[in-house]
Amino acid sequence: MSYVGPDFEPPQPRRSRRGPLTVAVAALVPGALAGWLVWQAVADDSGDGAGPQQTQGAASSAAGSPTPSSTGDDKDASPTSSAPAAPTPLKGKVVVIDPGHNPGNFQHTAEINRKVNIGTNSKECDTTGTATNAGYTEAQFTLDVSRRLRTILQQQGATVKFTQNGDRSWGPCIDERAEIGNKANADAVVSIHADGAGAGQRGFHVILPGTVHDGAADTRPIIATSRDLGERIAGNFARETGTAPSNYIGEGTGLDVRTDLGGLNLSTVPKVFIECGNMRDSQDAARLTSGAWRQKAASGISDGIVSFLRG
């Protein structure tokens, strides 16, 4: 029976696990630090082991005494497992979302025009981004989609970090945006944008890092994983939004490879950009300015990330 397990099995593996670990740490590290580490090791061990055991123990004793054996366990298991409800497939995963540009960039042209090194060459720290003909800015769009995306990813258990959240007056610079993903050791990074192409040019595309090995830039380790991430985002974005891939970049694939973007060149973790549509085209703009459509966009991007992270 299942309640035999918690009462009977755990003490032995717990003791044997804790024993060598404690001895090894104590032998390696002298003084107070050793004490702290041993405490950490024991605390971690008992924390990992005791949580479920206590739950199971309490559950089995509570359910076990009034009701006989397996029926009691089954009855107990169903409400306990359905109570948390939402599955958290992204637990332990770190996703960095990079909302392109910054609503304040328009007022800080001197700061954002400063050149930064992107490995291959120098480039402006950041740009203002584009806007629809009616004045809805790309920076507003990217923050909105990013926040929607964050909500969905957090609901699935991911740890989500932003490069900016409208909480600073400009930037950050493209090299710092890359650095934020790198320092977070992100499992996936997506940079959210919308394009500023000519009227009649429509649809979305995902930008993948091309091979760059120059100066501080070396994309070779992230080429394959970024492509995988990008293909999954493109497919799910198309399905979820019902939007066709770009008719002006990528020859209908919805994918483009670039070696001139600092945010990709300097990344050491899987990263892509998505241009969700063309703000300068009236039909695309109608979509980009719709909250309902942006929710679908966030959902499609999220589905791609989840698919990538689950493998």
Residues near Zn ion, by CB under 5 A: 100, 129, 193
For residue 98, the tally of other CB atoms under 10 A from its CB is 26
Q: Minimum distance from CB of 138 to Zn ion (Å)? A: 5
Contact 109, 102 (CB under 8 A): no
Q: Which is nearer to Zn ion, 161 or 193 (CB)?
A: 193
Contact 141, 279 (CB under 8 A): yes
Q: 188: helix, coil or strand?
A: strand
When the beta carbons of 44 and 260 are compared against Zn ion, the nearer one is 260
Distance of closest approach, residue 38 Cβ to Zn ion, in angstroms: 51
State the catalytic residue, choosing from 138, 231, 240, 275. 275
**CB-based closest residue to Zn ion:** 193
- Measured CA to CA, the distance from residue 231 to residue 123 in angstroms comes to 27
Report the nearest approach of Zn ion to the CB of residue 139 (Å).
Answer: 8
Gap between the Cα atoms of 140 and 131, Å rounded: 9
**Residue 158 CB, nearest approach to Zn ion (Å):** 24
The residue (of 72 and 203) whose beta carbon lies closer to Zn ion is 203
Neighbours of 309 (CB within 10 A): 21
Task: Determine which helix (DSSP H) or strand (DSSP E) holds 288, and give its type and residue range.
Answer: helix 282-288
- Residue 129 or residue 203: which is nearer to Zn ion going by CB? 129
CA-to-CA distance for 190 and 238, rounded, in angstroms? 16
Q: Which is nearer to Zn ion, 140 or 156 (CB)?
A: 140
Provide the CA 23 distance to its chain's centre, in angstroms.
Answer: 38
- 208: nearest Cα among 137, 256, 156: 256
96 φ/ψ angles, rounded to the nearest 5 degrees: -105, 125
Minimum Å gap between C-beta 156 and Zn ion is: 26
Residue 275 known to be catalytic: yes
CB neighbours of 311 closer than 8 A, spacing ≥ 6? none
| Beta-strand pair 94-99/205-209 | unpaired
Q: How far is the CB of 259 from Zn ion (least distance, A)?
A: 17
Give Cα 264 distance to the centre of its chain.
Answer: 16
Please, which residue, 99 or 304, has the CB nearer to Zn ion?
A: 99
Which residues are the active-site residues?
A: 275
